Amino acid sequence: MTAVIGSAFLLRSRLPDGVERRVTTINDRKVTFDLVNLTAGGYTFENVLDSTGPKSVQSWRENLGADIVFNSAYFNGANEPTGYYALPASSSITPWPSVKEQADTASYSFLVQIVEGKLKLDYLPASPRTESPTNAFLSFPTLLADGKVLVKSDSGSLASRTMLAEDSRGDIYLVVTEKAPLSLFESATWLSQQPEHFILAGNLDGGPSTGLSITDGQHILDEPSALVPNVIAGTR
């Protein structure tokens, strides 16, 4: 199946500053995307994990007093991250992959780091490393690398999506779907066609976990998630 990307248009109605909404038609489904330029927003980020007390992204934001919160890594039934996930003060349950494992493009190849409060994205097969990073996690699949779509076929499996993407200027964006779900192939294809010229993008945990809670002090946008044990939280 080939993704058909319709002409997108913007809706601006009581959205918090920094949020841009794009609506498009993909294979006869109306899909709504919320985009946030996280770099331009000037946020200071942290990874937050609480396996004993999962919360919705809205509850996470309210409890942390944050300005933006979105779901991050995949997790299992015990609310523990399933891939590499290391906080500054705690090591990962899952070990850092070997250089050979890092070359596997179908594995956890998308690296998300927080360095001095800022997000940093990498594609492991293109930049393998022997030392395991802290304050970082791995996700899958990588949707774009070097501006090229890496998802080569459409499984037809549809879900809501949370994605991080980096444009040609080095700005990092959060992209969250609101309405009709879409496949990973459709997600990657759509990202490759956006005016930001995204060069790198990866999928985070999706489906019921997908969620965004953001405020500018006057307006709040809540795209509710299921209860999730780990999030990325940002403050201005």
In terms of pTM, does the model score above 0.85? yes
Q: How far apart are CA 95 and CA 76, in angstroms?
A: 16
Tens of pLDDT along 52-94? 999 999 999 999 999 999 999 999 999 999 999 999 999 999 9
Residue 37 has pLDDT above 70, yes or no: yes
Q: What is the mean pLDDT of residues 148-163?
A: 96
Domain ranges of the chain: 9-235
| Percent of the chain's residues with pLDDT above 70 | 94
Q: How far apart are CA 36 and CA 157, in angstroms?
A: 25
Residue 95: cis peptide before it, omega within 30 degrees of 0: no
* Average pLDDT of the residues of the chain: 94
Q: Quote the pLDDT of residue 179.
A: 74
**At 14, is the pLDDT very low, low, confident or very high (cuts 50, 70, 90)?**
confident
Q: HEC states along 44-89?
A: EEEEEECCCCCECHHHHHHHHCCCEEEECCCECCCCCECCCEEECC
Q: Quote the pLDDT of residue 13.
A: 52
Q: Tell me, what amino acid is at 86?
A: A
Which residue's structure tokens are 């250089």?
99
Q: Quote the pLDDT of residue 10.
A: 38
Q: Quote the pLDDT of residue 180.
A: 79
Cβ-based burial of 178 (10 A; exposed 0-12, middle 13-18, buried ≥19):
middle
Structure tokens at 8: 């997108």
